[in-house]
Amino acid sequence: MSAPASRSWANDFSSFAWPKFDPAHLFHASHESGIKAFYPRFPSAPEVGQVNPCVWSTSYPFLANYLAPRDCPRIIFGRGPTTTKADADLFIGRSKASRFVVIEKDWRSRLEEMPIWIYAFEAGLHWNLFDPNSGVYVSEISVVPEQRHRIENPAEALAAHGAELREVDNLWPMIEAITRSTLSFSIIRKRNAQLG
């Protein structure tokens, strides 16, 4: 199956308060707790379109996309600049969440029990915007983090930052539905989803 990986988001990220970090920073999520420096590596998935070794990071508004185990397949969606009322009613309903993270049920326990470390980097000219639809930046030189923070329970952290966690038996029907809609979305680790 094939589906686009992201579509642009609306610009309202006010619910993503993160008082421990400066919103001007860029961020990297990892299961490793003691990283002193990040060195450029070749992407694990060539299809992402980045050919040179690099360090990956995400901007403050999109940090919630990465509050999950690294290999967890998920689709994150929300209202975008062209979202229709019909799609909003169908997929969002009356929820007040600013975005929605959909995972397969088999990943729920790992989402609750697998701590994540968030590293914060100072923004600078060495960072280049790779994908504005998912807030991803890359650096082709080594980067030293300025801060780190342990996320003990990513599922709780998602709720604390305005995201609603949803579970499905199989992610593929949701991927197909969302990518056909007018919602804004980002798909992560799609290749790890159960075969439909």
What is the per-residue pLDDT across 97-128, written as a single tens digit (0 to 9) for each? 988 999 999 999 999 888 999 999 999 989 99
Listed range (80-94, 122-136, 169-183) with the worst mean pLDDT: 122-136
DSSP 76-89: EEE--TT--HHHHH
Mean pLDDT, rounded, for 72-86: 95
pLDDT of 20 reads 61
What is the per-residue pLDDT across 162-184, written as a single tens digit (0 to 9) for each? 899 999 999 999 999 999 999 99
d(C-alpha 130, C-alpha 186), whole Å: 14
d(C-alpha 161, C-alpha 63), whole Å: 9
